Amino acid sequence: MAINEVDKVRVFALVGHGDCGKTSLTEAMLFDSNMTTRLGKIEAGNTVTDYDPKEIKRGITINSSLAYLNWKNFTFNIIDTPGYLDFIIDTKSSLRVVDCAVIVVCGVSGVEVQTEKVWDYAEEFQLPRIFFINKMDRERADFDRVSETIKENFGPNAVPVQLPIGSEEQFQGIVDLLQMKAFYFQTDKDSKSQFEEKEIPDDLKTKAEEYRQKMVEAVTEFDDEILMKYLDGEELSKEEILTCLKGGMIEGKVFPILCGSATKNIGIELLLDFIKDYLPNPLELPDITVKDLKEQKEIKLKRETDGAPFAAVVFKTVTDPYVGNLTYFRVFSGELSSDSQVYNSTQDIENKVGKIFRMQGKEQTTMPKVSAGGIGAIAKLKKINTGDTLCDKEFPIEFSKVEYPEPIMRLAIYPKSKGDEDKLSIAISRIQEEEPTIQVYRDEDTGETILAGMGESHLDVVIETMQTKFGVEIERSAPKVGYKETIRKNAQAEGKYKKQSGGRGQYGHCFVEFEPLERGQSFEFVDKIVGGVIPKQYRPAVEKGIIESMQKGVLAGYPTIDLRATLYDGSYHTVDSSEMAFKVAGSLAFKKGAAMADPVLLEPIYDLEVTVPTEYMGDIIGDLNSKRGKILGMEEAAGKGKQLIKSQVPLAEIFRYSIDLRSITQGRGTFTMKFSHYEEVPPQIAQEIIEKAKEESDSES
């Protein structure tokens, strides 16, 4: 078929909790549509979409991956997405650019925490959704139980349109409630699936009639004319049900439930038919709100091909140290041809387009152009990031950006070899182009390079990528806490620097009073010199000497904050005095004065907001109390049966909070954190920190 027949295009993402079978489902779809000659297996590491060595080693999807197939003269563009929490943001980027979501649910485990998360993302982007209950051949698989939990979590308009025939090892077929027919499947030794159409078995007829009635009632609710016809007892045609079902799905009011087994290749062809017949094509979906950059206002972008201006969104960038970057984009309007120009409106830069690739996992095939509904990839575009808009320069627009959560886990990193600093810098910049949720920054308090991401596994994968792709060996450690020091009472100190060793000497002499300031006041210098006991040109040098000494406090070598230094007396020498001498004198005065002014250690306190299901509240509060946290309050959170716990906790206690929270709540809790203020460290803990700092200082010297 021609690629630009937009009405025959379906663009969807396979989403769901980790290990629900998304990649296996992609394999079965590709195999049944004759795009591949064998059914790849996760365990064998030979699937089309999990091709990265890191994915093969772990047996999970880490990166969203593209696939396409032809089914009965229709083109399906598929994105196989990650389901594990650390990598789920890649799923959000993918859902931003598809037309529909196929939510895969395990027939044994049912609705899990990331099922809820991907539902929320699909809701955010207002996508039509269907559920596919997978693994119906597994022990303890239960269609009725799982479909009920889907309804409980996502509403009564999640309606089965299929029923399984048999269960667990006896799972052998599917009843199609739209056609009211039974399909029995047999799979040969090559995994080829054959099915036979039969009458619905007697033991399922009553159940099938009951479920069909519920389905028809749910879908006809959105068309008054067809609803009246149904209520009058008239038989509805397949076309009428199709119209209602598709309309209800586009409006986000009906969510069909199908079932099957990807690894046994049962029900996959029926799923492909359902996608072809019932999922909307790009032209059937509402116009997209974009920003017109010329008029600086929001407009509606029509999803068209012929004669329409080109508009696309970059949803993934992949960096290769040898080939350069590969940019994945989805076209919403118009078309882009190879050997042309494309304008990146987000970065305000034009790029030459060479070849356009169509991706089947990692395999690339060139295509002359990509049109609305299509997904393509281009190599070596300059200055481009995930989320950028590509468009015609004469019609500059910008799509809304995906909002990403703040990173929740941090590591300090540094290269094993001192000569690898440049390599590390290059690796970091390339990875940040690929990974919008990765943050890398230098902690000004500790001097460490901090790598921040969505969890332990996420950071492990990033560090592994630095090593394998960019050849830089990385050491890692828990970040140091940026402690501070301050004083609690007033003290006066003399600073005197006198040096005479033949020729011109050095002489600086000052008296300084030190006072504590309120938290957050930083530093204040007051000049109260009367007369000329210290000439004006030397007084700033005293301030400079104090400020420099404050960077290494008297208790444990941490920066000193929140004090006032008042210069009130001193003396000078007409020949030997200099700025340098008074700077040293100021430094000496600080060291003496701070030691006499009851110095104390301060630690950073963070506002921590934790959202958890109500049943975990007691455990979370107990855990926060054990971390020296202060509970500030609780309130209902957005989402069914969830509570928001507001607290303040020392940073030293929550570097690994993402792991603790996941363990306590079985992955159902989320949190945000931001710096609040500094507080005094309890004396016993402060003593341990001071002793450790002295040991480190002694070992370094």
Same domain, 536 and 457: no
pLDDT tens readout for residues 477-523:
999 999 999 999 999 999 999 987 766 789 999 999 999 999 989 99
Residue 151's DSSP bridge partners are none
In degrees, rounded to 5, the angle at the alpha carbon of residue 499 between the alpha carbons of residues 498 and 503 is 135
Q: What is the pLDDT of residue 56?
A: 87
Same domain, 103 and 125: yes
Please give the DSSP secondary-structure letter assigned to residue 419: G
Same domain, 97 and 159: yes
Same domain, 140 and 232: yes
Query: What sign does the dihedral 348-352-356-361 (CA atoms) show?
Result: negative
Alpha-carbon Rg of the chain, whole angstroms? 33
Sequence-ordered list of residues with C-beta below 8 angstroms from that of 228, at least 6 positions apart, any chain:
none
Which has the closest alpha carbon to 564: 614, 490, 615, 666? 490
d(CA 385, CA 382): 9
Is there a domain that residue 691 lies in?
A: no
Mean local confidence (pLDDT), 679-693: 94
What's the pTM?
0.85
Is there a domain that residue 700 lies in?
A: no
22 with 81: CB under 8 angstroms? Answer: yes
Q: Is the pLDDT of residue 218 over 90?
A: no
Is there a domain that residue 345 lies in?
A: yes
Same domain, 461 and 509: no
Same domain, 390 and 468: no
Same domain, 108 and 245: yes
Q: Following DSSP, what letter does each residue of 224-283 receive, concatenated?
A: HHHHHHHHTTPPPPHHHHHHHHHHHHHTT--EEEEE-BTTTTBSHHHHHHHHHHHSPPGG
d(CA 698, CA 694): 6
pLDDT tens readout for residues 641-668:
889 999 999 999 999 899 999 899 988 8
Same domain, 316 and 421: no
Is there a domain that residue 547 lies in?
A: yes
pLDDT tens readout for residues 417-469:
888 888 898 888 888 878 888 999 998 888 899 999 988 999 999 999 888 88
Report the CATH number at residue 556: 3.30.230.10
Same domain, 275 and 333: no
Structural domain count of the chain = 5
The range of the structural domain enclosing residue 380 comes to 288-398
